[in-house]
Amino acid sequence: MSHTSTVSRQKRAVTKPRRVDFFMQMQDLRCVLLAAAGLSTAAIAGKTGLTECQVSYRLGKSEQGRRRGDPTQRSLYRQGMSPIASLVVALASGSGPIREQVTERLYKRGLYTPKSR
């Protein structure tokens, strides 16, 4: 008895793995930046199109400096020393370029008067 299968197998495009490079590959850099912003591994995978394993590998590579004593991106964020942490604080406190743009537009429309010193 011969059994023939009618299941068609779809060939998946197999690509050669590439080297992780945070300076030349935007996808690798996005992983680190999203992790510094506090996103989970699953959320980063959803945003970048990588698998969770690939995201974890890239985050591990980016944090290898921890073993040498260098601060990691996540620890810098928690300490408030990373560029993303500075941006979050600026947005939350109402200072920075966004506030300047809003006050400028309101001033032009006559809806804002700056405080006199």
Query: pLDDT tens-digit profile of 5-42?
Result: 555 567 767 778 888 887 688 898 899 889 888 899 99
Judge if pTM exceeds 0.85. Answer: no
DSSP summary character for residue 23:
T
Bigger pLDDT: 85 vs 54 = 54
Please give the Cα distance from 11 to 56 (Å, whole number). 27
For residue 117, what pLDDT is reported?
A: 47
Cβ neighbours of 12 (radius 10 Å):
6
Instruction: Tell me what percent of the residues of the chain surpass a pLDDT of 90.
Output: 20
Element (H, E) at 44: helix 41-48
Tell me the HSE value of 18 on the side-chain side, using a 13 A CA sphere.
9
For residue 53, what pLDDT is reported?
A: 93
Say which CATH topology domain 18-76 has. Answer: Arc Repressor Mutant, subunit A (1.10.10)
Residue 4: band (very low, low, confident or very high) from pLDDT cuts 50, 70, 90: low
CATH 1.10.10 domain extents, the chain: 18-76
